[in-house]
Structure 1
């Protein structure tokens, strides 16, 4: 019996890369896609790395062809590719709006659509949803579209015993923050508002994804696992 196979979009840095490393260490055959360059020294040698833009259906098709060629089928699809463009409505232009929806929503939808023929019965799909509220109307809308999508897909794919769940990271220190110009000092100041008292690591999300993909989560579908160190938890009187 061959080892399980996982395809991770947005897998060349941050959360996706940490998940690739964790799954590989647990015996998965792993393929990652992304637009960032990754050298062989940054991921295990036998992890398949494919350059693909989540906004491009042609790139998605090419990635699926490679997944079919390398693995034949998939047991886990981790849809992690996404971008952040925070900002108020007044300064959001059309290009920013389109980029948010093309990457976060369109890319997620069509990658899953094109991966469906490869997903084994009983397989798992995990989608990174993340937070959007409070960081701009366009980003909130793009992120907010994903959770209803997860619930709808969970129902649609249940007859094939394919489970679909979301993972919602809280404050996780990834390269995305530096791309947005957020300093280490600012991240550390935000950490003071986290009940557990620290910034999360990509490995924290990787563990959540591995759980949702495992048999231990075999009766969980259409759900959203929040990994936030307690952000959003309110004490009741």
Structure 2
């Protein structure tokens, strides 16, 4: 008999929009599901935009219109003998119960459920949903507003929610995103020291910024990066160091 506790609940979460939460949810889910053999599901609870639901529709249309991607998708699903991972729309309220019900009703065991959550703790049900995650990953950028918001959010998670004991959270993990490899801002050293002083966990890997990712939106593209239907291209993964991120991610969540 399946038990819900064996499924890992993971969220890329932050209190600041535009730092890449939905992108990393999609990238990580697609690598796990299509390349590493895990069974994944995603709950899109980012009301009201539900960007992952929209992304899946866009990805389906792109694959059907692009002959190269259509062949890649056909070969992938034929070899894998499994479907695309489901994306379920749900509000933050009742989210954990909905995820547990989905896991119990699934004909296949679900290894990981990812949650794309709203970017504000004022959303009804969000704190309960966050407290039910096993691992939270938070992308950060060298921007004062982003950092202030992120550090306040992480401190709330660590010093309030986790210390109360009524939580499933095992790890909170910050990581640098959109790092410009051409210049090294002193802000990184300052913030790295601050993160260390606060006792937060900062992942060693930094995700580099790259204009190459925009190729995914071209009609004649022969490779994809962010897609709910296909895993990210290995060359693009390496270019931004997302391959390194995945190695660290897998160690943290113990998959």
TM-score, length basis structure 2: 0.46
TM-score, length basis structure 1: 0.49
The one of the two structures with greater contact order (alpha-carbon pairs below 8 A, sep at least 6) is 2
